[in-house]
Each structure stands twice: as C-alpha cells, then as structure tokens.
Amino acid sequence: MPVTTTPQLYTARLASGRAAVMDTRTGRGHWQHLNPTAALLWHRVTEGTRPERAAEDLTATFIREGADPAVVRADLNTLVGQLRELGLLSGPAAPAPDPARIQIRPALPPDEPLGAADRAAGLVALAAALLLLRCAPIRTSIAAARLVARLPLHPADPERADHLFAAVRRAARAWPGRAACLEESLACYLAAALRGRGVTWAIGARTAPAGAHAWNETSGTVIGQEPGDRLWPYAPALRIRHTGHPE
C-alpha cells in the first residue's frame, strides 16, 4: 500500500511488538491498538504488501516455527477481515516513524515571568488551535501544521520552547473550557511559528496502560511536561517538523 496521497492512518510502534493506529478521517482521531500478531501484519501492509499476501507470508513464517497450518491460516485470514471491518485497509497509511530516544523536560512553574510578545502569541495560537480542533476533523489541523512547517523558521532551543509552551498554558488557564494535550501542543507549535521559531508537533500512543498523548519536541527533548503526570515512553505515530529554512 504505497502512500500516493495524503496519509490518513498513522502508526506508533509500541513495546513488546504491539502497535497503535491513529485514524484521522473523522473527529479528533480514533485509535486502534493491535496485538503483536496484528502489528506484524499491519507493518507489512504499510510497507506496501497486499493484506492477503502479508497474511500468506506470516502464515508461512509461523508454520516454519511449528504452528498448526490450518489454525494459523484461519486466524490470519480472520485478522485481515477484522482490519478491513475497522476500516484500516481502506485509507492511505504512513509508515511508522522510528521511536527516537528523547529526554523529558518539565514544564516551567506557573509563575515564571513571560514576555508580552510570547503571551500574545500563546493567546492567539491557543484560539487558533481550539478553532481548528473543535470545528474541523483533526486531519485539517494536520494539514495546517504541514503548511506552517514550510515557513522559514529558526529552530527553537529548549529554553525558548519552554517559554512558548508556558505562554500557551497560561492562556489555557483563562479559557473557560478544557484545553487538553492536543490543543496545548498544537497551540505551542503555532505560537512558536508566530515568534519565528520551529518546534515539532508529535502525536503518539503507549501500551500497558493503553493511552494517547500529544506533545512538542525540540533538539531531541520533549518540553512542557508536568513531573509525574505522564507515563513515558510514548511512541510517536506522527511528527511534524518545520522544514523551511530562514533566508
């Protein structure tokens, strides 16, 4: 299944051979968590192998390892049917990104002094992120983020990114509704762009317990995390980095 159009399905490689697939075709994105066997099949599909062919290849592998041919063939054919029923075989899928090693950087304290320009950028960016995520499916936000990635931005160092994320979070405290990690991370990405800086917007998942999260990275560091409020490591399904270069 080579990706010839904009991907709609994004995969996170999880621990113990598992995977999580984010379907962005509706709403805020729907996650499907796959066991190791389903993940093996799914990864082959995202690499361009037809589902039925991928099932045949895995059947041959399991038979060589001593599995009962009739049982494994029936199980894998059932698995292909289940993936099809879930709609995972009807949209273009992106290959899973490598889960790079990263450091976790705690958020700045709530009373950290912030510049007026950063506070304004955080406020505008949060309003834009809320508008995008509340009024349109998440694929619209992803498309907008890809456009922003083309701007001629300077990479933000972790300290600079910390202040931009803090500005977003401060604006979120004044918001009467709830701004979750998805809104805050997209807003930080947009606030950085407003200030001429580039950070990465990442969305991913974890297992045991299963969950999803969105965050920002720069210079190999995850920024804006409250100590102890997240169970890492999360594996990215989607990373959007700035690709433009300043003149």
d(CA 170, CA 215) in angstroms, rounded, equals: 16
Neighbour-count burial for 122-138, b at 16+ CB within 10 Å, e otherwise = bbebbebbbebbeeeeb
- Whether residue 155 is found in the same domain as residue 81: no
- Whether 90 maps to a domain, the answer reads no
- Whether residue 49 is found in the same domain as residue 110: no
Residues 77-133 pLDDT 10s:
999 999 999 889 988 899 888 777 678 888 898 889 999 999 999 999 999 999 999
d(CA 168, CA 150) in angstroms, rounded, equals: 22
- Whether residue 204 is found in the same domain as residue 176: yes
- Whether residue 80 is found in the same domain as residue 108: no
Residues 143-154 pLDDT 10s:
999 999 999 999
Q: How many Å separate Cα 103 from the centre of its chain?
A: 17
d(CA 234, CA 122) in angstroms, rounded, equals: 25
d(CA 85, CA 23) in angstroms, rounded, equals: 13
Domain that holds residue 191: 103-240
Residues 152-195 pLDDT 10s:
999 999 999 999 999 999 999 988 888 999 999 999 999 999 99
Helix, strand, or coil here: 232? coil
Residue 57 in this model has a pLDDT that exceeds 70: yes
Relative to beta strand 103-106, strand 221-225 is parallel
